[in-house]
Amino acid sequence: MRRKSTLPYYPSLDRYEIIKKLGDGAFSDVYRARDRRTGRNVAIKVAQKYAIDDTMIDMQHLHPNMKKKPRMTERANILKEVQIMRNLHHPNIVQLIQFNESRENYFLVLDLCEGGELFHRIVDLTYFSEDLSRHIIEQLAHAVYHLHEECGVVHRDIKPENILFEPVPIIPSEQRKLHIFDDASKKDEGAFIKDVGGGGIGQIKLADFGLSKVVWDSSAFTPCGTIGYTAPEIVCDQQYSKGVDMWAMGCVLYTMLCGFPPFYDESISALAQKVALGQFAFLSPWWDPISQEAKNLIQGLLCVDPSRRYTVKQVLQHPWITGKQMLGPNPT
C-alpha cells in the first residue's frame, strides 16, 4: 500500500517513515524520515532524474504538424554528487547512507542534521560571538581539509544554507558555557547571552555536493596521462580552484561575525565589480569590538589573488584558530 506522504513511492524506501519536508529546491526536495527498523532519523533528498533542456527537439521531420518538444536530459550532476559523497567519510561532512533510483527520481538517504541550516541560526541571532564563529569555522576547515588535501574535491557551493548543524544537547548552562565558550568572559556579553539563549551549535556538517568537482593535484597523474601535456591555464585553474572554497569560507566568517555579507549591492553589476576588486570593509561600529586576528584571517581569505589567498592548512594554523601568536604579515 502506498504510504500517506508526498514522497514519490519507491519500494526500498519503505523502511523509512516520512515525517516532514525540510527543504525544497528547484530540482530536489528534502524530507525528514525515520528508519522503522533502527529508529534512526535520516534526511532523504529526492531529486528529479530528468530536467527540461533548453534545446527544443524539432519533430517536424516526422510530420509537418508536429510541434517542437522540449528535450529531457538526465541530471548527471546528481550522479556526480553521489559518486563524490560515497568517498567522503568525515565527522564534519554529511554522510550518504543509501542511494536509490526509480524511473523518475533519485533518492539520497543522508545523515540527519537536527539543527538545520547555519543560515537560519544567523538570522535568529543576528550575529555570532567570536567563540561561536571559531567553533564553526574550525570544523568547516576540517571538513574542507578532508576535501582538498585528502580527497582532491572542491565543494564550490560553501554558504550558510549548506552548512548544517547538530544542536548542543540540553545540558546545564554552566557546563554548556565551558563546552563551547571557554573564554566567553572576554567577549561581548550580549552576544554570548544571545548565543546560549538561542541554543548552542554543536557539530557542524557540510552538505550539498551538487556543484562539487574532483580536481587533480599538480603533482598527481591526470585522468588522461601525466600533467606534462596539460596546458598551463588548466594546471593553474586546477591549482587555484580550491581557492573558491577558501573565498567562500571568508564570506561565511565575515557574515557570522557581523550579520551581513562582505559584498553587497542592489545592482548585480556593481556587486560583481566589488567582488572582482575584493572591495569590502570592516564597517564601524559593527567591527569595532572584533579582534585583529579575526580581521587578518578574513583578509587572508578574501584575497583577490588566488595564489596568495590562504589555503585550508594556513587557516588551521592561523592564530585566530589556534589561539597562538600572530604568524606574519597580512597577505593583502
Cβ pair 164, 115 in contact under 8 A: yes
CA distance 121 to 133: 12
The listed partner (Mg ion, ligand ADP, none) that binds 117, CB under 5 to 8 Å by sort, is: ligand ADP
| Residue 113 lies near ligand ADP (rule: CB under 6 A) | yes
Q: Restricting to residues 200-259, which ones interact with Mg ion according to CB under 5 A?
A: 208
Contacting residue, 7, 30, 294, 315, with ligand ADP by CB under 6 A: 30
Nearer to ligand ADP, 117 or 130 (CB): 117
Contacting residue, 117, 131, 195, 293, with ligand ADP by CB under 6 A: 117
| Residue 25 lies near ligand ADP (rule: CB under 6 A) | yes
For residues 38-66, one letter each, b for 16 or more C-beta atoms within 10 angstroms of the residue's C-beta and e for the rest, the string is eeeebbbbbbbbebeeeeeeeeeeeeeee
Interface pattern 149-188 for Mg ion (x via CB under 5 A): -------------x--------------------------
| Residue 197 lies near ligand ADP (rule: CB under 6 A) | no
Which residues, at least 6 apart from 324, have a Cβ–Cβ distance to it below 8 Å? none
Q: Choose, from 35, 111, 157, 217, the residue flagged as catalytic.
A: 157
Q: Restricting to residues 130-149, which ones interact with ligand ADP according to CB under 6 A?
A: none
CA distance 42 to 100: 15
Annotated binding-site residue numbers for ATP: 45, 161-162, 208
Return residues touching ligand ADP (CB under 6 A).
22-23, 25, 28, 30, 43, 45, 94, 110-113, 116-117, 161-162, 164, 207-208, 210
Residues that bind Mg ion (CB under 5 A): 162, 208
